[in-house]
Amino acid sequence: MPTKTKSRSARPAPPKRQSKSEPAKPSRPTRRASTTNNKKRKAPESDEDEEENENAESSADEGASDGYKDSGASSAEDEALDSDRLDEDEDEDDVKPGNKRKAGKKASPRKRRRKDEDDEEQEWDGEDEDGREIVGRVVEAPKTGRVPPGQISKNTFNFLTNLKKPECNDRQWFKLNEPVYRLAEQEWKDFIIALTDDLVDVDPQVPPLPPKDVIHRIYRDVRFSNDKTPYKTGFSASFSRGGRKGLFAHYHVMIKPGNESMFAAGAWCPGKNELDTIRAHIKHNPARLRALLKDPDFIDMFGQPKPGKRSSIFGREDELKNAPKGVAKDHKDIDLLKCRTFAVVHKFKDETVLSPEFREELKRVMDVARPFVHCLNDWMTVGLDEEEGAEEADDDDE
């Protein structure tokens, strides 16, 4: 017992250690203050960044001075093409790995579904991506009406038709109809694999890429849209020298019920540098493009070239009303120079899309569009000075 009292009386030592450590505390704010002072000394270096931002803003103003205003999805056709072009993997890149793992943990209802695959309908009891509880009957994928790989079935059109209904185009309905979607998605992938082979035969400049590099997602990018409908109502894919992305001109295919399926080719809203290069070639010599637009087969597929009307490459929503900056209003090629998008569209009826000859029809249209795509690719990737130098070298060889 006396030893315990002595050990208790010997505990005043810790306050001494605290008193020794107390003088060291003011030194930390001092180091922070010096760091802050260093940052203040580095602040004048940001003037260069401000100048760069001002230059960037001034260059953007110059680009906007052309009179082009992006009005968003102003027409059904442009909305379909633009949404397909902008809904790439940006959303997927924004998702952190941790979020992906959390999403994976919510797949337990799917496991329960797999155990009951033999049931004609299964119960769904789980949560969607927003954490809302979903209770309903899972719709079984159709077992009839299927077609060979490389064709589009009525089942796929029925699914896309349902997505047009407001009561169906939501996450709850989509989750319950996921087996139907997966079957339609696989059918679309098989179609694109076969179509890629057809396109490579038509245009060898297009590489045979896997479906994941050309197919667009069915999920809409609703971040900057007033329409928060989560899913598109059609399947689409884009082909070019670089897949569905890149600065090259594209071949674009979309299937959509209601006679809204289409094939399109060209360059949609090219970047400022590419647009300036195209306009430079038009000013220098537009004969190549003029000849393509007046070709009888091209007119048969994509319409008469009538400036001011929606036909051929003319009449799009982003077309300039006035002459571009630095171009005279009475320029002989002002109709071409006003174009902001250089693209053509050919539409298909539903019965054509569902027929076994749909790929042959697409192949025929792609063959007519190929010279137009090559023309744009040459003009966007080869500067005018380089082209003139190549022509002079050819003349010297002769």
Type and span of the H or E element at 348:
strand 342-348
DSSP state of 324: P
Name the β-bridge partners of 347.
262
pLDDT(206) > 60: yes
DSSP string of 27-42?
A: HHHHHHHHHHHHHHHH
CB-CB contact of 182 with 347 (8 Å): no
> Which stretches of 72-153 are DSSP H helices?
76-86, 90-94, 97-105, 108-115
Dist CA 373 CA 378 (whole Å): 9
Query: In the predicted model, what is the mean pLDDT of residues 369-379?
Result: 97
Q: Cβ contacts of residue 327 below 8 Å, gap of 6+?
A: 279, 283, 334, 337
**pLDDT of amino acid 366:** 98
Does the pLDDT at position 99 exceed 80? no
Burial of 191 (0-12, 13-18, 19+ CB in 10 A): buried
Could you tell me if 265 and 369 are in contact, meaning their C-beta atoms sit under 8 angstroms apart? yes
Mean pLDDT of 115-137: 53
Whole-angstrom Cα distance, residue 376 to residue 278? 7
β partners of residue 239: 251
Dist. CA 239–CA 199, nearest whole Å: 9
Q: Which residues pair with 252 in a beta bridge?
A: 238, 264
129, 144 Cβ separation under 8 angstroms: no
The neighbouring-strand residues paired with 236 are 254
Q: Which range among 30-34, 217-221, 230-234, 264-268 shows the weakest confidence by mean pLDDT?
A: 30-34
* Residue % of the chain over a pLDDT of 90: 57
Measured in whole angstroms, how far is the alpha carbon of residue 341 from the centre of its chain? 16
Quick one: residue 259, left, alpha or beta (phi over 0 = left, psi -120 to 50 = alpha)?
left
For 16-69, the DSSP string reads HHHHHHGGGTTHHHHHHHHHHHHHHHHGGGHHHHHHHHHHHHHHHHHHHTTS--
Q: How high is the pLDDT of residue 83?
A: 47
Residue 215 backbone phi and psi in degrees, to 5: -80, 140
Q: What angle do CA 148, 150, 153 make, to 5 degrees?
A: 65
Q: Which carries the bigger pLDDT value, residue 3 or residue 361?
A: 361
At how many degrees (to 10) do helices 384-397 and 272-284 cross? 50
Closest by CA position to 79, among listed 186, 270, 226, 192 = 226
- Is 351 in a helix, a strand, or coil? helix
**Token pair recorded at residue 373:** 């795509």
What is the CATH code of the structural domain delimited by 139-388?
3.30.930
To the nearest whole number, what is the mean pLDDT of the chain? 77
328-345 pLDDT tens trace: 999 999 999 999 999 999
pLDDT score of 246: 84
Considering only 108-112, 212-216, 287-291, which range has the smallest mean pLDDT?
108-112
Handedness of CA 277, 279, 285, 286 (dihedral sign): positive
Pick the more confident residue, 36 or 247: 247
Q: In which residue are the tokens 């970047």 written?
A: 271
Where exactly are the structural domains of the chain? 139-388
User: 3-class DSSP state for residue 7?
Assistant: helix
**What is the largest distance, in Å, between two alpha-carbon atoms of the chain?**
116
Token couple for 51: 């100048």
What is the tens place of the pLDDT at every residue in 22-62?
444 444 444 444 444 444 344 333 334 434 444 444 444 44
For residue 295, with 0-12 CB atoms within 10 Å meaning exposed, 13-18 middle and 19 or more buried, which class applies? middle
Between the CA of residue 317 and those of 45, 221, 226, 379, 388, what are the distances in Å?
43, 21, 19, 23, 33
Q: pTM for this structure?
A: 0.68
Residue 223 has pLDDT above 70, yes or no: yes
Using alpha carbons, select from 374, 378, 294 the residue that is nearest to residue 335: 294
